[in-house]
Amino acid sequence: MTFGIISAMTEELELLLKEMNIEEKTTKANMTFYKGTLGDKNIIAVVCGIGKVNAAICSQILISEYKVSSIINVGVAGGIGKDIYPGDVVIGTDLVEHDMDTSAFGDPVGQIPRLDTFSFKCDENLVKAALNAANEIKEINSFTGRIVSGDQFIANIDKIKWLSETFDAISCEMEGASIAHVCYLNNIPCVVIRSISDNANNGAHMDYEKFMPIAIRNSTTILKNMLKTL
Ligand code: ADE
């Protein structure tokens, strides 16, 4: 069993890489794939870059070339809703690409046209394992629910309201749904674990800088604890 671990940015993966026993480093599609182990688990860890295209390319390489058995996406995200604060952790139950819009043809916004699913589900066992790992750390509040992704940094209160009302989303980021989409097409289990860096409101870019370190610490801690149980 090999776990593919994707983060969008170097900062999001560096705590994990520090603890990983790295055996091999390979660059493909301008992305560095770190092959090695963490405890007794085989891992390929990679920084994919920001946005849905980078995340999709990276996921397909992990599946086709590294033959990973599942993909875990970790990093930071914007929180949606007044009860979710920076540092909290969200675990995706399913994901939607919020910027996909063929509503002119009568499709709901978010629906990939001609695909037999609206949202991309995370693997139930991986979600459970992530939630159990999160629940063991009393200082971290965790939530499960729908995460939406798009090629947009959300920093607007009206947009958050729209994401909440349209998708019933608890969090927004820029890669998770794309990773889950690729996993769906390849029938590979995945889970998205994100820690909140901001509330996607008008000051989001400032909160993002401030809370990023704690958010990364929290998502990495949960990932490490979760891997021990798999
Ligand atoms: N990642 C972290 N915060 C985000 C936000 N507000 N919008 C999109 N992606 C994010």
Q: What is the pLDDT of residues 56-70, one digit of tens each?
A: 999 999 999 999 999
pLDDT band at 32 (very low <50, low <70, confident <90, very high): very high
CATH of the domain at 113: 3.40.50.1580
Tally the domains of the chain: 1
Average pLDDT over residues 20-42: 97
Got the DSSP string for 87-124?
T-EEEEEEEEETT---GGGTPPTTPPTT-S-SSEEPPH
Is the CB of 147 inside a 6 Å radius of any atom of ligand 1?
A: no
**Distance from residue 85's CA to the centre of ligand 1 (Å):** 13
Distance (Å) of CA 221 to CA 19, 50, 134, 170:
11, 22, 9, 21
Give CA–CA dist 146/143, Å, rounded: 10
Catalytic residue among 12, 123, 175, 207: 12
Q: Which residue's alpha carbon is nearest to atom 1 within ligand 1?
A: 77
Give CA–CA dist 104/51, Å, rounded: 25
Is the CB of 76 inside a 6 Å radius of any atom of ligand 1?
A: yes
Q: What is the pLDDT of residues 118-134, one digit of tens each?
A: 999 999 999 999 999 99
User: Which DSSP category does 139 fall into?
Assistant: T
pLDDT at 82: 82
Domain interval for residue 108? 2-229
Q: What is the pLDDT of residues 200-209, one digit of tens each?
A: 888 888 888 8
167-183 per-residue burial string, b: 16 or more CB within 10 A, e: under 16: bebbbbbbbbbbbbbbb
First to last CA, the chain: 10
Is the CB of 183 inside a 6 Å radius of any atom of ligand 1?
A: no
pLDDT at 106: 97
**pLDDT > 90? residue 182:** yes
**pLDDT > 90? residue 81:** no
